[in-house]
Amino acid sequence: MAKQSNQAYFDKTGTEFVVDHIVDQTAYVRPMVKILGQTRGYEGEVYEDEFTEPASYLVTMPADDLFNSPPVAVVDAELEAKKAELEELRKDARQVVADLKREQSKAEQELAAAKRDLEKWMKSHRVMIDLGKLLDGEILYPLSVRQNPYHRGREIPQIPDMRDMRFLSIHSGNFESGQKWIKEEYARDTYGSPFRFFDTEDERNAVIKEEFDSACEQFRKAPDFETASWTTGTDLNFGTLLQWVKAHPALCIPDDIQKMKMVNDATLAEEHKAKLRAELEAIEGN
């Protein structure tokens, strides 16, 4: 098949040439050569480009030594070389992914540690956060919650009067001598009971409800249906629960406890009736 000018052909080694012209079965060809170039982006970044183009010089070779495609052996060799190059790229990519995963794991661990430190700081120095909110003019909602020292259940939460609260007091500090400042008061009411602020009234009410539920659960373990007012401060009895509801009207004694109270009252009433009947029978017998 006649060779065409300006067409690309390959020799037995797979080298590519572009035919310039042919005279008496002698081909005058230009070898394809690699060109390395650089281009600049919009922000001045430099990109390297590689491409091939016909050389500026001519060489001669028999026209019959030119073929339309590279020899199979050359193609196979190029294919193997490409496979090896691809495998190397995959290896590099796997290494990059592994490095990124290690960096991600390290960053996640550092972030988790920072979050723990922040949560610890916010818990131990919450008063400083609340102080900042107060200085910014925000309205906060105080509540004093503690355990009863007598019956070991939850004490009725108290809403301190803002005028009677001592919020922050430190003393004995001396930076020049290295003596640390000592925290004397953080957040205490008139009676020395600690309290904390809540951002909304709903948050405070939720804590009151949670404390009441805990008190009710404690009551169920050892039901005491006494209602004498002088015992509510030292005993967790039904009268104490009534005081909870009186102090916080949004609360309501659970139905199961009210039913327990009704059964207890009915039992006591029957016992009292039986006692009266026995006394009456004793009187009539005399």
Residue 171 has pLDDT above 70, yes or no: no
pLDDT top residue among 267 and 189: 267
Nearest to 153 by CA among 245, 239, 218, 227: 218
Residue 177 has pLDDT above 80, yes or no: no
pLDDT, residue 244, reads 94
Please, what is the average pLDDT of the chain?
Answer: 84
CB distance 265 to 223 below 8 Å = no
Neighbours of 162 (CB within 10 A): 10
Average pLDDT over residues 108-133: 87
Quickly state the pLDDT bin for 182 (edges 50, 70, 90). Answer: low
pLDDT top residue among 6 and 78: 6
Q: Report d(CA 140, CA 153) in Å as an integer.
A: 27
pLDDT, residue 172, reads 66
Q: Report d(CA 142, CA 196) in Å as an integer.
A: 6
pLDDT, residue 40, reads 78
Q: Give residues with Cβ within 8 angstroms of 264, minimum separation 6.
A: 223, 225
Q: Report d(CA 21, CA 216) in Å as an integer.
A: 105
* pLDDT tens per residue, range 215-231: 999 999 999 999 887 77
* pLDDT tens per residue, range 230-256: 777 788 999 999 999 999 999 999 999
pLDDT top residue among 194 and 105: 105
> Could you give the dihedral angle defined by the CA atoms of residues 98, 101, 107 and 109, in that order, rounded to the nearest 10 degrees?
-110
